Amino acid sequence: MTNHTSTPRSQDPEDIKKRNFIKGLTGGVLGLLTLSITWPFVSYLIPTTAGGREERFIKVPNFPDMPLGVPTKMNFQDLEEQAFLKMSTVYDIWVIKHSPTEATVYSPLCPHLNCRYSWDAKQFACPCHGSNFNLAGKCTAGPSPRPLDSLPYKIEGGELFVQWKQFKAGIPDKVEA
Amino acid sequence: MKEPLSQKVKNWVNERTGLVKFVTDFLHEEIPGGTRFSYTLGSACMFLLSIQIITGIWQLFYYVPTVDYAYSSLNYLRLQVPFGWLVHGLHYWGGTAFTIVVGLHVMRVFIWGSYKKPRELVWFFGIGLIVMTALFMFTGPVLPWDKKGYWAGQVGIGIAGSVPVVGPFTQLILQGASKMGQSALMRIYVMHVALIPFLTGLLVTLHLIAFRQFGEAGPWEEKKRKTVGYFWPEQIFKDVLVAFLLFLLLVFLSAFFPPEFSGLADPMDTLYTPKPEWNFLFLYQILKFLPGPLEPLGTAGIPLVIILLMASLPFTDRTEDRNPFKRGFVILGGFVFVAAVLYFTWLGYIYKSEAERANTTTAVEFKSNVNSVFVNPNNEIMLANSKKDVTGEQLFKTLGCTECHTANGSVSNKQGPDLVMARGNNRSHQWMLDQINAPQSHNKKTIMPPYLHLTHRNVELLVAYLEGLTPKEVPMPVAPAPVVTGGAPTDSKVLIEYGEQLFNTQGCTQCHTIQGRPNNKQGPDLIMAVVKRKPSKEWLHEQLMTPQAHNPLTIMPSYANRLKDPQMDAVVEFLSSLLTRKPSAAPAMDSSDQEKQTGSVSGLGEAVNIIGDREHGSVLFHQSCIMCHGPNGNNKTPGFVAPKGVPALNPINSTVYNANASTFVQRIDVYLQHGIPNTVAGGPNMPSFGDTHALTQAQIADLEAYVLSLNGVDRTRIINPGIEPKEFFLYLLELSLVVVVLSLLYWWIIKLIKF
């Protein structure tokens, strides 16, 4: 190894003072360097919500042919955008058509813990924890803290357009996730 | 007395690792001859390598190595991720700085003679690290999969392939397929982020272990080595200071000189001149001096010779004396080498290819002098006029004719007719002369510019060249049996089929469609025309033989020489049959229609998702768009007569303009992709560039970036910078100044206080 510490360092107070000053300054510069790298590099990893997704109504195919009064599971496709990718995603919804101009649209997710429920000819029944809902979406049995979540929709020219939304599960209030 | 916890932990660790001795040995190392700033080069390399590792890993959070998303994922990182510009900029400039600092480090070691016994191994591992640096610099630029990177990879792999014996095998391993594509990108990616870093780590470790054995060599004079300095804190302070200044420099470069956006890789684009990164320029330049068969000598030989020469240094320069003034021959050799590399790099830097020179003159002249749309042709014309031995073909190729015309006898998607096919019109010699001098005398609506200033001799040369063009043999469909043998059209169905084959193969589709819908082409849709006019067979026959008999201004060529009688009959029969043909169904639903259905903006091409390069867009614009839209998209340019109904692009209509680049791009993309019929009668239609594949999506993206820039919108604007790059640099600078001022103040105070 190197011939280290063979010559003792100067113990002159002036020299020690100088040495300590340099040590402090080195630490200071190093700290500044670390800070100016760490801060932006951590911000880099924090996802931005700026802009947000535009809210738009998507056409649900086959609405004019739907039977009246029967809850029916319908699918529609929307573009989902994340980072640099745009992907088409298929969503499902429950639609009850009351008339050619009126309908009820429910999110397919149980408000309890986001399981997908089904229609058993009498009521909506969630297989996970036994929550039941009537046609109006009201919880008639089980642990669900709130009624089924309805989705915003509009009917134009006989066609149904729906806006996809997801809500926080497990709480009494309908809050967008 | 009880030991404090920190001491306990320290002891616990030390008993098991010997860390304390290691650290003290390291910190208290003596530096013969005292500390120096020139010794900071090694640690600066380490600092830059650390920056490269961190920023490299950070980029992996977003980058994906696939040819369809590499470019867009990197651009997402650069423009939309907070401080993405910094992470990418530091990596880009860090690589450049690393190459330079490594070079300086090697030069210092060389001049000080520090490679001499007993430090040969340090030198050898160092050479290994130089090779790694070169590999990093070769593989890195390919990853963005932009034009620059694509060509760097293409050429680099080609060079590897040209090495004798092992070349083809190496090329196959690097490329992973018969041509550049996904496999090559993946392999280059794995090399850049895993293989080379691993080897570099190994070599750095060995380099440092070997270095620690004997430490700094110190000054070459025995006397000066007597005084000693210490690693901690004196040398470390210098190292940290240099590292920080380097960091400031890198941030400055990232903020003020961000890496360029050279547009998505596009192998189809022949207007782009590939040129290597600056660090390979000297090799690129040397290759130009080597004739073909000797090329492998340059590509493989030169780097190999450099490495061998360096590796042999400790054995050839064997004297114990490290004083550079006593090693004149070696030092001179080194300086000649460095000077040669710098010289060739400079030559390579200023070198411009023919095409590049032409393009830059176009761009520069249009920028500096917008007096007339025909500025460029005129300057070219002056040049052409002054040349004595110019040929008609050269004139055709240099005067801009090829912007609108092809001359190879096949269908093209350019604005003007193919001039070999146009030979079918049998124009007179005088007609040709007039067409060049005053095209509007034949057709008032033509967008062809008059070549007024061309000398008479040159016009004659050009016409002679055009008249000498012989139509290429276009393969004729084989005539069905009854037509050939019997001669009489026994079965009209067979004849119609044959006519349709001829229609599809003999160039008719260049100008006409048979869809029953309006089109963007030069000629009418023939179902619509036939239904409207209900022409007799005689009329159709005459239209094919002498189109000018029906319309003196038509640009339709005569088919008299091209089709034999039975073929002519077949085409006439086919055209007559269009009267009863049903319009073809509207194009099938494709994904863009589906998008329409799902409510998003319809009909957009891939180009809207590509960050284009406005510089290259300017080159493309002045090739394809200038005739209608004017220089720099300004149709009010003096001397330029805008064709009827063509909108100005600079400034663009306010209903199209949007300050948001991605919205703006979407609004103009539709026109570039699909074209649009002119609303003013007689005005030229906007051709479709996307649907017809006349331009690639990468080129359309470049054009869009250019049109945006004409209207003051930057396609490459950082959407989410975290902190604006220039501001960030200024903050950093201010903080550093505060540290400097505070420490000076502190130093002054402790100087005053005597204790």
Give the least confident one: B127-141, B160-174, B289-303, B507-521: B507-521
**Amino acid at site B296:** P
Average pLDDT, chain B: 83
Residue B703: which of B622, B642, B636 has the closest Cα?
B622
The beta-carbon neighbor of B237 closest among A3, A7, A22 is: A22
| Residues of B in Cβ contact (< 8 Å) with A28 | 739, 743
Burial of B207 (0-12, 13-18, 19+ CB in 10 A): buried
- Could you read off the pLDDT of B194-251 as tens digits, one per residue? 999 999 999 999 999 999 888 888 888 888 888 888 888 889 999 999 999 999 999 9
Please count the residue pairs, one from chain A and one from chain B, whose beta carbons lie less than 8 angstroms apart. Answer: 124
At A72 the pLDDT is: 92
C-alpha B42/C-alpha B635 separation (Å) is 58
Asked whether residue B488 carries a pLDDT value surpassing 60, the answer given is: no
Could you tell me the two tokens for B434?
């007039």
C-alpha B436/C-alpha B399 separation (Å) is 11
The beta-carbon neighbor of B72 closest among A32, A48, A84 is: A84
Contact flag A19-B233 (C-beta cutoff 8 Å): yes
Which residues, in sequence order, are CB contacts of B120 under 8 Å at separation 6+? B314
Q: Which of A5-14, B463-472, B716-725 has the highest mean pLDDT?
A: B716-725
Q: Are B649 and B633 in contact (CB under 8 A)?
A: yes
Give the least confident one: B465-474, B594-603, B611-620: B594-603
* Residues linked to residue B10 through DSSP beta bridges, in sequence order: none
Q: How many angstroms away from the CA of B598 is the closest CA of chain A?
A: 5
Chain B residue with minimal CA distance to A23?
Answer: B233
- Could you read off the pLDDT of B307-361 as tens digits, one per residue? 999 999 999 888 888 888 888 888 999 999 999 999 999 998 888 766 566 555 4
Average pLDDT over residues B77-93: 96
Residue B439: which of B420, B415, B470, B471 has the closest Cα?
B415
- Give me Rg for the CA atoms of chain B: 35
Which of A2, A45, A55 should one mutate to test binding to chain B, selecting the residue with the greatest count of B CBs within 10 A?
A2
Q: Are B700 and B688 in contact (CB under 8 A)?
A: no
Collapsing DSSP states into helix, strand and coil, what is residue B284?
helix
Task: Looking at the structure, tell me whether residues B462 and B491 fall in a common domain.
Answer: no
- CATH classification at residue B369: 2.60.40.420
C-alpha A175/C-alpha B712 separation (Å) is 42
At B471 the pLDDT is: 64
Task: Looking at the structure, tell me whether residues B667 and B737 fall in a common domain.
Answer: no
CA atoms within 13 A on the CB side of B644: 11
At B676 the pLDDT is: 86
Asked whether residue B482 carries a pLDDT value surpassing 80, the answer given is: no
What region, left, alpha or beta, does residue B94 occupy, with left being phi > 0 and alpha being psi -120 to 50 degrees?
A: alpha
C-alpha B299/C-alpha B158 separation (Å) is 10
Could you tell me the two tokens for A102?
């009126």
Asked whether residue B371 carries a pLDDT value surpassing 60, the answer given is: no
For residue B579, what are the CA distances in angstroms to B277, B502, B506, B524, B531? Answer: 61, 18, 21, 15, 5
- Could you read off the pLDDT of A86-97 as tens digits, one per residue? 888 889 999 999
Collapsing DSSP states into helix, strand and coil, what is residue B693?
coil
Which residues, in sequence order, are CB contacts of B174 under 8 Å at separation 6+? B157, B160, B184, B187, B188
Sign of dihedral through CA atoms B641, B647, B653, B656? Answer: negative
Contact flag A83-B76 (C-beta cutoff 8 Å): yes
Average pLDDT over residues B672-676: 88
Could you tell me the two tokens for B339?
């000077």
At B308 the pLDDT is: 94
Average pLDDT over residues A153-169: 91
| Residues of A in Cβ contact (< 8 Å) with B233 | 19, 22-23, 26
Q: How many angstroms away from the CA of A15 is the closest CA of chain B?
A: 12
Average pLDDT over residues B630-648: 79
Q: Where do the DSSP E strands lie in B259-372?
A: none
Give the least confident one: A13-22, A110-119, B663-672, B720-729: A13-22
Domains of chain A, residue spans: 1-46, 58-162
CA A101, A102, A103 angle in degrees (round to 5)? 130
Task: Looking at the structure, tell me whether residues B42 and B188 fall in a common domain.
Answer: yes
pLDDT band at B600 (very low <50, low <70, confident <90, very high): very low
ipTM score: 0.77
Q: Are B129 and B207 in contact (CB under 8 A)?
A: yes
C-alpha A74/C-alpha A91 separation (Å) is 8
Task: Looking at the structure, tell me whether residues B641 and B739 fall in a common domain.
Answer: no
Q: How does B350-387 read in b/e, with b if 16+ C-beta sit within 10 Å?
A: eeeeeebebbeebbebbeeebebbbbbbbebbeebeee
C-alpha A14/C-alpha A10 separation (Å) is 9
pLDDT band at B644 (very low <50, low <70, confident <90, very high): confident
Q: Are A121 and A72 in contact (CB under 8 A)?
A: no
Task: Looking at the structure, tell me whether residues B188 and B309 fall in a common domain.
Answer: yes
Q: How many angstroms away from the CA of A22 is the closest CA of chain B?
A: 7
Q: Are B412 and B521 in contact (CB under 8 A)?
A: no
Asked whether residue A6 carries a pLDDT value surpassing 70, the answer given is: no
Average pLDDT over residues B88-113: 95
Q: Which residue has the higher pLDDT, B587 or B298?
A: B298
Give the least confident one: A38-42, B330-334, B449-453, B634-638: B449-453
C-alpha B628/C-alpha B88 separation (Å) is 39
CATH 2.102.10.10 applies to domain A58-162: yes
Residue B573: which of B547, B540, B532, B546 has the closest Cα?
B540
At A145 the pLDDT is: 94
- Could you read off the pLDDT of B427-468 as tens digits, one per residue? 888 888 888 877 767 776 566 766 766 778 888 888 888 888
End-to-end CA distance of chain A: 62
Boundary of a domain, candidates B417, B433, B467: B467
Contact flag A79-B595 (C-beta cutoff 8 Å): yes
Task: Looking at the structure, tell me whether residues B575 and B611 fall in a common domain.
Answer: no
C-alpha B465/C-alpha B398 separation (Å) is 14
Could you tell me the two tokens for B130?
């130089």
Average pLDDT over residues B116-139: 94
| Kind and range of the H or E run holding B10 | helix B5-17
C-alpha A69/C-alpha B262 separation (Å) is 58
C-alpha A106/C-alpha A146 separation (Å) is 13
Asked whether residue B680 carries a pLDDT value surpassing 50, the answer given is: yes
pLDDT band at B473 (very low <50, low <70, confident <90, very high): low
The beta-carbon neighbor of B69 closest among A9, A79, A84 is: A84
Task: Looking at the structure, tell me whether residues B603 and B690 fall in a common domain.
Answer: yes
Residue B557: which of B414, B403, B417, B408 has the closest Cα?
B417
Collapsing DSSP states into helix, strand and coil, what is residue A87?
strand
At A151 the pLDDT is: 94
Task: Return the HEC string of B425-454.
Answer: HCCCHHHHHHHHHCHHHCCCCCCCCCCCCC
At B452 the pLDDT is: 66
Task: Looking at the structure, tell me whether residues B179 and B215 fall in a common domain.
Answer: yes
pTM of this structure = 0.73
Asked whether residue B590 carries a pLDDT value surpassing 60, the answer given is: no
**Amino acid at site B211:** F
Which residues, in sequence order, are CB contacts of B79 under 8 Å at separation 6+? B85, B611, B716, B717, B718, B719, B720
Asked whether residue B410 carries a pLDDT value surpassing 50, the answer given is: yes
Collapsing DSSP states into helix, strand and coil, what is residue B642?
coil
Give the least confident one: B77-81, B272-276, B493-497, B704-708: B272-276
Q: Are B418 and B411 in contact (CB under 8 A)?
A: yes
CA atoms within 13 A on the CB side of B493: 0
Q: How many angstroms away from the CA of B355 is the closest CA of chain A?
A: 34
Chain B residue with minimal CA distance to A46?
Answer: B82
Q: How many CB atoms lie within 10 A of CB A58?
A: 19
Q: What share of chain A in percent tops pLDDT 70?
A: 92
DSSP strand pairing (A85-99 vs A72-82): antiparallel
C-alpha B337/C-alpha B306 separation (Å) is 9
At B254 the pLDDT is: 97
Could you tell me the two tokens for B186?
């993946």
User: B588 in a domain, yes or no?
Assistant: no
Q: Are B359 and B616 in contact (CB under 8 A)?
A: no
At B472 the pLDDT is: 59
Task: Looking at the structure, tell me whether residues B453 and B509 fall in a common domain.
Answer: no
C-alpha B220/C-alpha B229 separation (Å) is 16
Task: Looking at the structure, tell me whether residues B205 and B94 fall in a common domain.
Answer: yes
Q: Are B582 and B517 in contact (CB under 8 A)?
A: no
pLDDT band at B382 (very low <50, low <70, confident <90, very high): low
Contact flag B244-A85 (C-beta cutoff 8 Å): no
At B340 the pLDDT is: 92
At B363 the pLDDT is: 44
Chain A residue with minimal CA distance to B31?
Answer: A4
The beta-carbon neighbor of B58 closest among A25, A41, A76 is: A41
**Amino acid at site B739:** V
Q: What share of chain B in percent tops pLDDT 70?
A: 86
At B511 the pLDDT is: 77
Asked whether residue B163 carries a pLDDT value surpassing 70, the answer given is: yes
Task: Looking at the structure, tell me whether residues B676 and B605 fall in a common domain.
Answer: yes
At B375 the pLDDT is: 38
Asked whether residue A107 carries a pLDDT value surpassing 90, the answer given is: yes
| Residues of B in Cβ contact (< 8 Å) with A78 | 598-599
Asked whether residue A70 carries a pLDDT value surpassing 50, the answer given is: yes
- Domain with B551, as residue range(s), is 481-580
pLDDT band at B713 (very low <50, low <70, confident <90, very high): very high
Could you tell me the two tokens for B161?
């392939």
Contact flag B720-A48 (C-beta cutoff 8 Å): yes
Q: For chain B, how many structural domains are there in total?
A: 5
Task: Looking at the structure, tell me whether residues B547 and B608 fall in a common domain.
Answer: no
At B490 the pLDDT is: 55
C-alpha A83/C-alpha B302 separation (Å) is 44
Phi, psi of B753 (to 5 degrees): -80, 115
